[in-house]
Amino acid sequence: MEKMLGISDSLLFEAPAKSLMLAQEAYKMTGNSLYLKGTASLIMGKVYQQQRDYYTARKHYLESLELRRKWGSPDLIGVTMLALSENNAHLHHFDEAIGYARQAVDLIRKTGNELGLSMAYMQLASTHSWAYSTAKSRDMLTPRFSTDSALHYYKLAEQYEHQPDQKAWLHYGIGITYIHREDSAAVPYLEKAVAIRRKLGQLYLLIDAMQFLGRAQVYRKDYLTAEKLLDEAYGLYKSHTLDDDFLLSKIAFSNVLLHQATKSYKKAFEWLLTGNKTRDRRLLDDREGAISQLTVHYETEKKEALLKQRETELARQREMLGYERKIKWIMFGSLVLAIGTLGMVFYLYRKNRELSLHNATLVKEQNHRIKNNLQRLSSLMDLQLRKLTSRETRSLLQENVNRVQTIGLLHRHLNNTTRLSISMPLYLETLVEGLKDIYIIPGLRIDYRIAPVVLPSQQAMSLGLIVNEVVTNAFKHAFPKATSPQLEIILSRSDTGCHLQISDNGQSEIVAASPESIGLQLILLLARELKAVHRLSQENGTVFDLKFPLL
């Protein structure tokens, strides 16, 4: 892709502005292709690195590495790691630089790509050489970085075939390593590099190689050749108006070494001033560039922060709209569910009401029929009673008639209500008053103290039959001998149940009656049905107590 865009190493050095423009256009044209985007990011990194904006270059290199890892080609990943190695070397992060270079060697070795492996060894070598030179200038030499290590890796790279450009870099690298040693052994390697650069027409790289070759000739003490090389290099620089302070500072330093060696101190001083001016300009440019970059970064971060804030606000608005929609749907669903539930409840209520009314009608009809049947039975028994002449037989039959009428009275009350329960005050008073009309007792006074108790029909029937038996016994046996007959009926209610008490002031024979008496047996049977406790006592008359629980 670099060749397609025309961005060669020579163009990167000689026309950085054009290189940047081409790289930016390439980056925009990549679309969604991971391969093209990764390659364009790598080129952008190279352009910024040539402009000595190493941190921006690093950002593009890391982006390229991430994209190429997704693409999955070990060769391409290795090439990007080599670029990151060189970038870290420029930043003097030599340990990281060597780490990236070694990773690249391991990756590319697996693919069998000899050219790529040679480039990886060359990067390892140049990093060791550069680290040695930096440590030497700071008087901080360390065994971790040495020219021997650099030359070792260059020798490994030499065993592979190279294109002319790569061969020039190899010779240049070996020559620079010897330069760092101040060793004239650099001369033959740099001569080869100069010859290749001249043949390829790579002006910037040619001038750079020539000034290093001139420096190597100084170490060889061939000052005449050194002066010719340095003059030619400076002449090419001026004639092509390259305007590169970094390259000019290298030429100046090599000339200072030459004129110091030849004791031409005036010229050495002039070149030293040129080098210092160049260095000052570079420092000023770097400072202004750093300020400009910081300003751009600040404005960019500010815009990104505003965009992020707007995106956050939009996301919150979308989230709130989503919540509102959900709430509306929930409310709508709840409303539909509530309407459906109300409809179902109303439907069930109507059905239940219809069923209840139907059942009530059936019960009422049943009670009505039972009441009519009991009335017929009572009428038949009355007819039979009129034909009997035996007093004892008439008494027994009358008691049975009373019992039938007691049951009939209960069904008459049930027939007048929709409930299957009986109000005891009305029922018991009606029952006793009916018995009073049958057994006419002169001067009889009846006191009712009946609490407003409502009992289920079954309990009410059992209690009514018991009252019928006790009151009938009092009318028959107690009051005929009493001068001022008095009957008291009390029904009270508590938390545990009901208490019935019937007392008279006569002398009843029920206490002394035989256990085989039908009335007494009926009372005992009905008391068991009510799960009641009863007691008969004789205290100024007869007192009957009955306590039973409520159902």
pLDDT average, residue stretch 456-485? 85
Query: pLDDT grade, residue 375 (50/70/90)?
Result: low
Query: CA-to-CA distance for 289 and 286, rounded, in angstroms?
Result: 5
Nearest to 432 by CA among 455, 398, 466: 466
pLDDT for residue 218: 94
pLDDT average, residue stretch 226-231? 94
- The CA-atom distances, in angstroms, between 8 and each of 5, 80, 195, 379, 509 are 9, 16, 19, 133, 139
Question: Quick check: 312 pLDDT over 90?
Answer: no
pLDDT average, residue stretch 365-375? 59
Question: Quick check: 334 pLDDT over 70?
Answer: yes
Query: CA-to-CA distance for 106 and 358, rounded, in angstroms?
Result: 94
Domain ranges of the chain: 1-72, 419-548
Question: Quick check: 248 pLDDT over 80?
Answer: yes
The pLDDT mean for the chain works out to 81
State the residue for tokens 């029929």: 369
Query: CA-to-CA distance for 516 and 43, rounded, in angstroms?
Result: 125
Q: Report the interhelical angle of 74-90 vs 34-50 (nearest 10°).
A: 20
Question: Per the structure block, which two tokens stand in for 165?
Answer: 């450009």
pLDDT for residue 395: 66
**Residue 533 vs residue 374, higher pLDDT:** 533
pLDDT for residue 5: 46
Query: Does the domain spanning 419-548 belong to CATH 3.30.565.10?
Result: yes
pLDDT for residue 246: 82
Query: CA-to-CA distance for 187 and 178, rounded, in angstroms?
Result: 9
| % of the chain beyond a pLDDT of 70 | 78
pLDDT for residue 4: 42
- The CA-atom distances, in angstroms, between 438 and each of 165, 319, 391 are 143, 89, 15
Left, alpha or beta for 431 (phi > 0: left; psi -120 to 50: alpha)? alpha
Question: Quick check: 3 pLDDT over 50?
Answer: no
Query: CA-to-CA distance for 508 and 18, rounded, in angstroms?
Result: 137
| % of the chain beyond a pLDDT of 90 | 30
Q: Report the interhelical angle of 16-28 vs 34-50 (nearest 10°).
A: 160
Lowest mean pLDDT among 43-52, 276-285, 334-343, 532-541: 276-285
Its pTM stands at: 0.50
pLDDT of 434-447, one tens digit each?
Answer: 888 888 888 889 99
Query: pLDDT grade, residue 2 (50/70/90)?
Result: very low
Return phi, psi of residue 451, to 5°.
-70, 155
pLDDT of 496-530, one tens digit each?
Answer: 899 999 998 887 555 444 555 777 888 899 999 99
State the residue for tokens 């930043």: 91
